[in-house]
Amino acid sequence: MHETICSETTLGAAKFLKLREITFCDDKGKLRKWESADRTCDAKAVMIVAHIMPDDEYVFVRQFRPPTGKMMIEFPAGLIDPGEAPEKTALRELYEETGFSGTLTKMTNFGFSSPGMSGEPIAVAFMEIDGNAVRGREIVAHPEECESIETFRVKRNELDDFIARCEAQGDGIDTKIYLFAAALQK
């Protein structure tokens, strides 16, 4: 027997998020309940891994995330606007959040970063930025009015030290960055 969703109930909803109670039948035929926090508009998101070449640097952002109560170190990311292709979202969000323009080199299928809590689908866009084209130029981000984002360029061989410095100053680190740093060491 396979697990199946039997019913869903919205327990509460606000402008951007809703809390759902999901009743499902487990693999043994027993009814179970699960709570999920989801977007109200079934939005999908894109996360951007931006690599500056030939400088071998990666782009990260720092912003306050109220659910954590902390400044968070993250990859640039954003929601896909209605009717917008994920590839276009990646280019737009990279520019808005960091001021960089890049070339998309790969786009993953949609996956889930916290499936125990949310069903939000996220695709990963791998982008390359021409370091020669931006060298010596002031790069200015274009965040939305409600965003306050700081951008960091971090050399591959300095990523662990960057993470340690951010942790020491009390910043939270998106788990995907730990995974990324570990993968770079292999």
> Per-residue pLDDT tens for 111-133?
999 999 998 999 999 999 999 98
Bridge pairing between strands 57-65 and 45-53: antiparallel
Amino acid 141: pLDDT: 81
Amino acid 95: pLDDT: 95
CATH architecture of 45-184: Alpha-Beta Complex (3.90)
Question: Which one, of 148, 126, 153, lies nearest residue 137 by Cα?
Answer: 153
* Ranges of the chain with pLDDT below 50: none
Q: What is the pTM of this model?
A: 0.91
How far is 123 from 177, CA to CA, in rounded Å? 15
Domain limits, the chain: 4-39, 45-184
Amino acid 1: pLDDT: 62
